[in-house]
Amino acid sequence: MLGLLILGTARIFVPYEIAHPWWMVAFLLLTAVTFSLFGFIIGLWADNFQKLQVVPMLVVTPLTFLGGAFYSINMLPPLWQKITLFNPVVYLISGFRWSFYGVADVNVAMSIGMTFGFLTICLIFVWWVFKTGYKIRN
């Protein structure tokens, strides 16, 4: 909801065109569901508020900044380009960039596949949590 609100507000101030609007919505939904499931997993893991903040602060934020959100990973030296491909956020950002501008740092099929892969991992873990009752049952 927040992303669509920002997109609508930006339309007031800046004229823009979305190259692939249906894919933009698909990446938006895939990313939202994946991060929601990931947040659920972190919420189960965390025993207190300090633990809850560790993952967003020390994992998600650095991966976002190092994942090409503010630059193209093609600007990096070849060694760092290879290292950056191990960052899962690269594929989310590249998919969004392609859906908006038609330009991507990695193959779009790879972005879609990796996004579905992250979603699948989160779904399997949440399924396991509900099946076993891990931290849900007393």
Res. 138: pLDDT tops 70: no
Give the whole-angstrom CA distance, residue 56 versus residue 115.
19
10 Å CB burial of residue 27 (0-12, 13-18, 19+) is buried
Q: Give pLDDT tens digits for 31-64.
A: 999 999 999 999 888 888 888 888 888 888 999 8
Confidence of residue 16 (pLDDT cuts 50, 70, 90): confident
Q: Where are the domains of the chain?
A: 18-132
Mean pLDDT of the chain: 90
For 96, other C-beta atoms within 10 Å of its C-beta total 19
Q: Give pLDDT tens digits for 106-120.
A: 999 999 999 999 999
Predicted TM-score (pTM) of the model is: 0.82
For 89, other C-beta atoms within 10 Å of its C-beta total 19
Residue 77: predicted pLDDT = 93
Among residues of the chain, what percentage have pLDDT more than 90?
62
Short-list 35, 53, 9, 13, CA closest to 96: 35
Give the whole-angstrom CA distance, residue 111 versus residue 105.
10
